[in-house]
Each structure stands twice: as structure tokens, then as C-alpha cells.
Amino acid sequence: MSLKGKSVNRKRSSGSYRRIRQTSLSGGHRFGGIIAAAILAAAATVLLTAAVSSWQFFNKPLVFAQDGSSPQFFWNGSSSLRVLVVFIDDFESTKVKELYFLSVNPGLGNSSLVSLNSLTAGDSSLFVGQHSRSFANQIRRRISFPLERYLVLDDSGKETLLKYFNGASWDKCFDLVKTPALIKSVSLVPSQAKTDLSLSEIVSIFRFMNSLRSSEFFIYDLDYVRDYRPVSLYDQNLAGGGLRINILNGTPIPGLASQASRILENLGANIMEVGNAEKSDYRETVLVGEDTDSSAASFLASAFRVGQKRGPLSTLEKRADLTLILGLDNSF
């Protein structure tokens, strides 16, 4: 895959500079390429046979993968969202060829594309299998970032998109979402794409991406992200608010709190304490705090499948704004 772009300097924490690529498409278009096109066209065939005017359909996840899973929340287009994008040989072998995640961050006014291809280079036996959500969870553990949605596209689907979207304007892309008749020229079928994005979410992604300047879109590789934790990947619910968060392991599974803290630190959270809870028999994850309905608390509740909420009891809990006690339902 290639994305036309220019190189820009981004300052390292040590004071030196590293070159990263930042998109600037020809003809004044800010972000085209196969990644954005893939997210759009994942819903193409469905639109040919369903009424877009139906609100229920418009917001229903397009779960072609038959995982038996569905997203835990509806993305409203204003909070951060991370989409795992996977290119595979075909849906029989499901062998992974290219791997990325797209971070859409309306609150911070930017978006980032992170290449995860170092994972595929180091693992020649990486397969999606029949359960795309399970695969996304596996990648989440390896990169320590939440992945709220996924999109899987095979070679034939990618070829279709390259043929149609190569050099396509933003207007053409967005009109495709609004006008089902235009989708006939794409001819992408469900056997070429699997996703749990809804049409409403796809439209919201494109509206936001269309508003970005070239300086607000970043491309990183995974090693750079691990070393420098770019601010553009921070989550607006966690970063900048100064919230103090404790992460406690309430299970006998070692390393659970450390894994969760890495995820949250990558998103810009201020982690105060990482350790073990007083008990190790928590079946459900518990969120503790004076305000468990804040945007940060809501994010934690969704990302870690919180089953209970309560006020602080111990001294440790009272020193923090929020305490996440991980249960067996978060065994990663």
C-alpha cells in the first residue's frame, strides 16, 4: 500500500528529531488512499439492498464476520475511535498481509494511522480466522491500545477499491455514502469485507476526516509509537484533565494491572498506582470514584467492561479520582 505524502519533523522527547510521514494528497485532497476507502466501501453492498433512510439500519453494526459479537457502544462521532484495519489473502486462508490501526480523535482535532506491519513480519502464521473480534482483541494485547472496531478486507476487495478510488476526490467518496446508486460501480461484496462499523459511524469518520488539514493527520510505525507515545494518539477523555487513576489487579492472574496501565498510558492517562487489590476474587471489574459518570469514567467503563461502580472506601481509593479494579472478565 502506498500513501502519497511528505515528510515532516516531529521532536523527540530527548530533543532530537525523527522523520515521520504526514499525508498531503495531490489535487488538494487531504486523505484518500486505500485505508479510508476501505472503511467507506465495507458497507457498499448492504446499501444496495437496504434503505439508508431507516435509522435502525443506519446505526446497526455491519457484522458480516458472524462472530456472535457486537460493539459495546454506539460511536457518536465526537469521541475518540480506533479501528483495526486488516488486509488478508482471502477469507478461506485469512492469512494477514498488512495490518494498521486508524485513530480518529475529534476532540483533539487530529487523526493518525499506525502501521502494525512489524507484527506480520515477525509472525508468518498470523491469521484472522473466522472470529474477527477475537483477532482484534489479540492484536490489542500485543500493541496495548484499545481497538473498538475492526475492518478486514481481502485481496479482491482491495483490488476493487484501488481501481475505483485511485485519485478519487473526497466529494466522490462522500457522495458514495449518501447515494446508494453510485455504489453499483464499486461492486464490493460481503465476501470481500468484514466489519462491525455501522453506516452512521462510517459517515461520521468521513465527515471528520474531510475536515482535517494535512498537518492534522499523522502516520507512525509501531516502534515509534512504543518509544515516544505520540500526543496525537491520546484519548480526549483521559488526556489533559489531570485525573489520577489507580489500576488494581483483583484476580490471581499476574500482570493484569500492568497491561491495563500500558493501554491507558498510551492514551495519555495519568496513572498514580499500579498494583494488587486487597482481594483477588473479583469476577467483575469495578470502577471506584466520586464521579463515575464523567467522560473519563464512561470511557473506562466501556473499554474495560465495568460491571459495578461504587464510591471510594480505602485510603488508596480516596487519593485517586478513579480506581479501576480488574476482575476475571478482563483477563485480556
pLDDT of 104-131, one tens digit each? Answer: 999 889 999 999 999 887 666 688 877 7
Cell numbers 463515575 correspond to 292
Q: Which residues make up the CATH 3.40.630 domain(s) of the chain?
A: 5-232
Q: What number does CATH give the domain 5-232?
A: 3.40.630
Given this model, what pLDDT does residue 107 score?
Answer: 87
Low-confidence ranges of the chain (pLDDT < 70): 1-73, 122-125, 160-191, 332
Q: Which residues make up the CATH 3.30.70 domain(s) of the chain?
A: 244-330
Overall CATH class of domain 244-330: alpha beta
Paired residues of 246 in beta bridges: 273, 323
Write down the H helix ranges in 83-193: 117-121, 132-143, 155-165, 170-178
Given this model, what pLDDT does residue 45 score?
Answer: 44
Cell numbers 475492518 correspond to 151
Q: DSSP label at 2?
A: -
